[in-house]
Structure 1
């Protein structure tokens, strides 16, 4: 098996960094100087390509879901992300903690109540809103947007990064997936372009997540301490979190990111336990069991639903946004997952990445969203009105409706706000680390100055986009930023398939006397 050593490629490619900084710098200037024009332009472009994105994102995510399941179950399931005798670098608990914290923590805290409540009021799969049937559909749709399909995107990107880096000694960067096609020319123009598009998508995916976290943290501070909610409060939250994230990312994965990720998971369990003890536990458990069945039963329908015959904007508002967000977020989460998954087989990796975070996510939605739906159906409601006024208030409105004392509600609200803040920090420091790994040519420990610079830069971009138009601008930006990277993912899948054909663990083709596995892996055919 032919491999490239670390000495055979540049350590610090300059062009991707310059391109990334230039593009993001121009975005910052435009968003800051021409705020209304910038927001209007994003909205116009999003509307213009909406028809394309509705079918393209749906088809791509459906394919990636099937592809990653085939990797975990098919002929290459025993291929290891590393040498054949390597063992996993991290044990199960810290691995799971970092998977969940870096993947969907902030977004799930924001949407786990708001999304079911909004689907409860109306969706294409329920003939009538605000009914028990609509409540069931609302949970299933929330499972769909946060479940197997989304994590399949992360898994495919992570497998590609980890396979080429740990098994073939190529950089831990998107450019490595091109090696089966163009060989060492990945260290030239096309490799630079792929890495730049990946950083572009990552930065805007990160900005969207940080913007949601800032909005909800500000709402939590208002709820706890009666602080006036404002854009300035959100900007102050971004500034504080950026400072903490900078300190964390400079300290490295083991000391900074790993510790914060484990704290995230512990706080998550504490908050879940409080809701289970105080809230309607039998209803939550019943909803969890019932709607997993409904989700699995309707998974194909939801996966391929485009809304082609319906003029409404539900598909664009929800599925297109979420798939765009997951796709834009995938270079960050995929590389981060690959960074912590060395030594695992494809089978271990696929079912770990797909099943464990998805199961925790379903429990979380059933507990949080289920508590809110129970209040609407059986306890007088009020959460629908609160969410319609301010979507970021959903979690705290639900805490208010729990049958418990004011002091207990305050403690739960404090833990929730702290959890949002820690997830916020974890996403910020992990994102800065991943961007630097890509731009440094796959170095696992990029220079501390570069790490700090990108942590600060991400915070500045988030703040500027909040000033330019808030959550709506962030959502339009991430949907559009994901489009070029969606094409990169297609190329990455093709490169991975071409490279896997030479694996010694692949079964011979039927009717052939030998397999391509008997031949050495030489990368590009003409390289």
Structure 2
């Protein structure tokens, strides 16, 4: 056992993360109410005192990655100068989209616009103007900001690992700032924080997915959507994710992501063609224009003069939750998109990882969100049913109200359940691979036993958070939101420092020669283009998986 830990893990990170995860699970099992109360108090402290940090940081990340994309450093490749992308654009996009958004888009696409329409932070609810603002708030939460957060970490990992020969771990981005201390306790702290962010960010998604699958089973088969059912669903689908992650990226995650993408596309087309098709096209154009027109205003909005606190409460429950969720997810999504982006230029990486998923998200949100808002605005029994549906049922209520035969509506609901399940599985299997790489020191060829451990841990943490929320009488969704905001704060500081490290390293590049010669390793590092190339393709069994040792 001791020899295995030494050879196949980064012991300080693996052991520390494992002990804390097990302790957290035991806390949730033995004292769920206490866990939920403590987490809620910490959450309240963060939303009260660090709202400004989340808002300014998320906006800064958007500006930073766009500036890097259009700069002279955009031609630098994530890898040696002669490296080429490993995956086609379609496969790359499928893995990006399903890992980066997935369950959340299915869960919130109908319910979030309806909620903002009924409970806006500003303005009168229930009007046409409220409907336009509701879609804009939804676009804001799912638009450029989350993908900019992912890209910061993905760019740092891909650049320092595949171009500079450092291990594939978040601490590597700090090499320009602290040098070989990335292999000692400062680097270990960064990696442990990344593990926690990934696990709790994924737990939030898995909890939302279990909640919505339960709602789908209730809508189609009449099964009561209890916390116990959601726990069973999470455990069952975690088993599917385990199978996928054991096959690796090429045979498991890539194929599952492509299947998932096509099924989600089919569901979207179903709603588009059987819904108000022409109106949806007009609304999409209007939504995009309104979003970019009001983006600067929303990006810096903190509602400081809202006397009764309603707007601040709205922002804490929505914007801060999302920013914390995306930041908590960033180690997972960032490392995963870095892992699949070997050989792409920085400009191609940033442009593709930002605008392609954002464009797809805007289309998805317009079709589902505006379809739901149109029903609510029209009033009647259908509109009221959708307004009262809640987050987990809204998608299925909308599908049931489309002008199709009952059997077709049922099949569409079943398809929606399958899409959620596959989004669930693709997030979990990608996350398991990433957490294992985080805890083994950057080796892209983790052992299957370790993948299994982390895949199971993700499902168990999600179950514990759901149970803790139920035991304390709180909404399970609140417990998941609290976990995201709390775990996102420390890693927000890490991401800001990563931007400094990226800027410092890029300032030493010579972009005019980037396509003509092998990049120089960072000071104190040996050239390792061959090793990083092997690591980038080693999922199928090739490559040594060697890690740099402390010098």
Query: Is TM (by shorter chain) over 0.5?
Result: yes
Partner residue, 1:522: 523
CA distance in structure 2 between the partners assigned to 1:88 and 1:10 by the alignment: 30
Partner residue, 1:462: 462
Change (3 A) 1:158 1:383: farther
Partner residue, 2:497: 491
Report the 3-state secondary structure (helix = DSSP H, G, I; strand = E; otherwise coil) of the residue aligned with 2:380: coil
8 Å contact from structure 2 (residues 165, 521) kept in 1: no
8 Å contact from structure 2 (residues 164, 520) kept in 1: no
Report the 3-state secondary structure (helix = DSSP H, G, I; strand = E; otherwise coil) of the residue aligned with 1:344: coil
Change (3 A) 1:13 1:159: same
What per-residue deviation string (whole Å, max 9, x for no partner) do you get for residues 184-229 of structure 1?
A: 2211111111100000111100000000000000110111111122
Report the 3-state secondary structure (helix = DSSP H, G, I; strand = E; otherwise coil) of the residue aligned with 2:80: coil
CA distance in structure 2 between the partners assigned to 1:117 and 1:60 by the alignment: 28
Is it true that 1:502 corresponds to 2:508 in the alignment?
yes
CA distance in structure 1 between the partners assigned to 2:503 and 2:8 by the alignment: 27
Report the 3-state secondary structure (helix = DSSP H, G, I; strand = E; otherwise coil) of the residue aligned with 1:85: coil
CA distance in structure 2 between the partners assigned to 1:384 and 1:335 by the alignment: 43
Correspondence 1:71-220 to 2 at 5 A: 71-125=68-122, 127-220=123-216
Report the 3-state secondary structure (helix = DSSP H, G, I; strand = E; otherwise coil) of the residue aligned with 1:392: coil
Report the 3-state secondary structure (helix = DSSP H, G, I; strand = E; otherwise coil) of the residue aligned with 1:391: coil
CA distance in structure 2 between the partners assigned to 1:389 and 1:272 by the alignment: 20
Per-residue deviation, 1:277: 1.2
Partner residue, 2:537: none
Partner residue, 1:475: 481
Partner residue, 1:510: none
CA distance in structure 2 between the partners assigned to 1:378 and 1:209 by the alignment: 32
User: TM-score, normalized by length of structure 1?
Assistant: 0.93
What per-residue deviation string (whole Å, max 9, x for no partner) do you get for residues 348-375 of structure 1?
A: 0111011100000000000001111111
8 Å contact from structure 2 (residues 80, 519) kept in 1: no
Partner residue, 1:326: 326
8 Å contact from structure 2 (residues 111, 390) kept in 1: no
Partner residue, 1:4: none
Tell me which of 61, 64, 68 is aligned to 1:67: 64
Partner residue, 1:262: 258
Partner residue, 1:5: none
What per-residue deviation string (whole Å, max 9, x for no partner) do you get for residues 383-415 of structure 1?
A: 555454532001011112211111110111010
Correspondence 1:412-491 to 2 at 5 A: 412-469=412-469, 470-491=476-497
Change (3 A) 1:506 1:152: farther
8 Å contact from structure 2 (residues 375, 386) kept in 1: no
Partner residue, 1:342: 342
CA distance in structure 1 between the partners assigned to 2:7 and 2:50 by the alignment: 36
CA distance in structure 2 between the partners assigned to 1:100 and 1:518 by the alignment: 31
Change (3 A) 1:494 1:53: same
CA distance in structure 2 between the partners assigned to 1:225 and 1:373 by the alignment: 26
Partner residue, 1:223: 219
CA distance in structure 2 between the partners assigned to 1:31 and 1:12 by the alignment: 27
CA distance in structure 1 between the partners assigned to 2:235 and 2:280 by the alignment: 37
Per-residue deviation, 1:45: 1.5
Gap regions ≥5 residues in structure 2: 1-5, 470-475, 526-550
**Number of aligned residue pairs:** 508
8 Å contact from structure 2 (residues 77, 343) kept in 1: yes
Per-residue deviation, 1:309: 1.5
CA distance in structure 1 between the partners assigned to 2:149 and 2:512 by the alignment: 24
Segment drifting more, 131-140 vs 18-27: 18-27
Per-residue deviation, 1:506: 6.4
CA distance in structure 2 between the partners assigned to 1:47 and 1:324 by the alignment: 13
CA distance in structure 2 between the partners assigned to 1:413 and 1:262 by the alignment: 20
Report the 3-state secondary structure (helix = DSSP H, G, I; strand = E; otherwise coil) of the residue aligned with 1:177: helix
What per-residue deviation string (whole Å, max 9, x for no partner) do you get for residues 79-115 of structure 1?
A: 1101111111111000000000001110110001111
Partner residue, 1:284: 280
8 Å contact from structure 1 (residues 28, 464) kept in 2: yes
Change (3 A) 1:520 1:151: closer
Segment drifting more, 35-44 vs 320-329: 35-44
Partner residue, 2:42: 45
Change (3 A) 1:179 1:269: same
Per-residue deviation, 1:52: 2.3
CA distance in structure 2 between the partners assigned to 1:33 and 1:234 by the alignment: 20
CA distance in structure 1 between the partners assigned to 2:511 and 2:214 by the alignment: 52
Segment drifting more, 289-298 vs 220-229: 220-229
Partner residue, 1:3: none
User: TM-score, normalized by length of structure 2?
Assistant: 0.89
Per-residue deviation, 1:182: 2.4
8 Å contact from structure 1 (residues 53, 320) kept in 2: no
What per-residue deviation string (whole Å, max 9, x for no partner) do you get for residues 271-311 of structure 1?
A: 01111111100111111001100000000011111122222
Change (3 A) 1:520 1:94: closer
Is it true that 1:252 corresponds to 2:253 in the alignment?
no
Report the 3-state secondary structure (helix = DSSP H, G, I; strand = E; otherwise coil) of the residue aligned with 1:442: coil
Per-residue deviation, 1:519: 9.1
How large is the RMSD of aligned CA atoms in angstroms?
A: 1.9
